[in-house]
Amino acid sequence: MKRLNGYRMRLVAVGIVAAMVICGSAQADFTFGEPTPLEATINSGENICLECISADGLELYLSNPMNGNIDSMIWDLYVSKRATTNDPWPVPTSLGPTVNSSSFDAFACLSSDGLELYFSSRRSGGYGKQDIWVTTRDSKEDDWGVPVNLGPTINTSGFDNSPWITTDGLELYFASDRPGAIGGDDIWVSRRASTNDPWQTPENLGSVVNSTGIDFYPCLSPDGRILIRPQGHIDPVV
């Protein structure tokens, strides 16, 4: 239930442009602008959560609980696509049964080239209560393929969720309640030498980043110098 409570906090982000600033150029002296609601096609009145936006600003990924019920254990991933950044966002469409399961599918992050979508799922075939999976496509015009579990190096018998892949694809940040966590969930990072190499054993980001509460949903600036994440399901921090 604590993870669903965290999702309630994230519902606010879908209507705020400032929540997407992390996809632009990060500067130490940046200032967030005045929040602006997105179109009614996105803010439909249902419990829709913002997941991520593509690097080119043309694809917006969201998640939605079954029947709009925030307490539902079944969530699906959706996408809204537009032709140019000057166009409005159209009504989101489901990623379909190839990507979505009959369980919880959410916490999505798109790679910088738009060809990999990492997300969390409670579907069967995993290693724990909630695993991190990835679906790929050959081009932005192609459909997403069958998701692949990231394996036991990343996933444990507990909850592994909210992945965030860096721009160069060499670091994967995510939340986990695995042994060694300071609080309920901590933020961890796994690294690899190249995008063709396997992910290495995750490292805890330590007490500078993690608290004794719940720390999850990390978001990094493109240059990897700014980490934004909720803390204890209360306020976003930098």
What pLDDT was estimated at residue 237?
42
16 exposure class (CB count in 10 Å sphere: 0-12, 13-18, 19+): middle
What pLDDT was estimated at residue 44?
77
* The two structure tokens encoding residue 152: 């036991």
What pLDDT was estimated at residue 3?
56
pTM for the full model?
0.85
In this structure, what are the phi and psi dihedrals at residue 135, rounded to the nearest 5 degrees? -115, 145
Q: Are 93 and 79 in contact (CB under 8 A)?
A: yes
Across the strands, what pairs with 76? 64
Long-range contacts of the stretch 58-61 (C-beta < 8 A, 24+): 58/82, 58/83, 58/84, 58/85, 59/110, 59/114, 59/140, 60/89, 60/92, 61/108, 61/110, 61/117
Across the strands, what pairs with 171? 191
What pLDDT was estimated at residue 27?
45
CATH number of the domain enclosing 163: 2.120.10
What pLDDT was estimated at residue 226?
83
Please enumerate in sequence order all residues whose Cβ is within 8 A of that of 40, keeping only pairs 6 or more positions apart, or say none. none
Q: How many domains does the chain contain in total?
A: 1
* The two structure tokens encoding residue 165: 């892949």
Which residue stretches of the chain are H helix? 2-10
What pLDDT was estimated at residue 18?
29
The b-or-e profile of 115-128 (16+ CB within 10 A means b, else e) is: bbbbbbbbbeebbb
Rounded to 10 degrees, what is the CA torsion of 152, 153, 158, 163?
A: -120
Nearest Cα residue to 195 out of 217, 229, 168, 213: 168
What pLDDT was estimated at residue 67?
78
* The two structure tokens encoding residue 41: 């096609």
> From the CA atom positions of the chain, what is the Rg in Å?
17
φ/ψ region of 72 (left if φ > 0, alpha if ψ in -120 to 50, else beta) reads beta
In this structure, what are the phi and psi dihedrals at residue 12, rounded to the nearest 5 degrees? -65, -35
What range does the domain containing 108 cover? 2-237
What pLDDT was estimated at residue 9?
44
Q: Mean pLDDT per segment of 10 residues, for the chain of length 238 residues?
A: 49 34 43 84 82 96 87 92 96 97 96 97 96 98 98 97 96 96 91 96 94 86 81 45
Q: Are 179 and 188 in contact (CB under 8 A)?
A: no
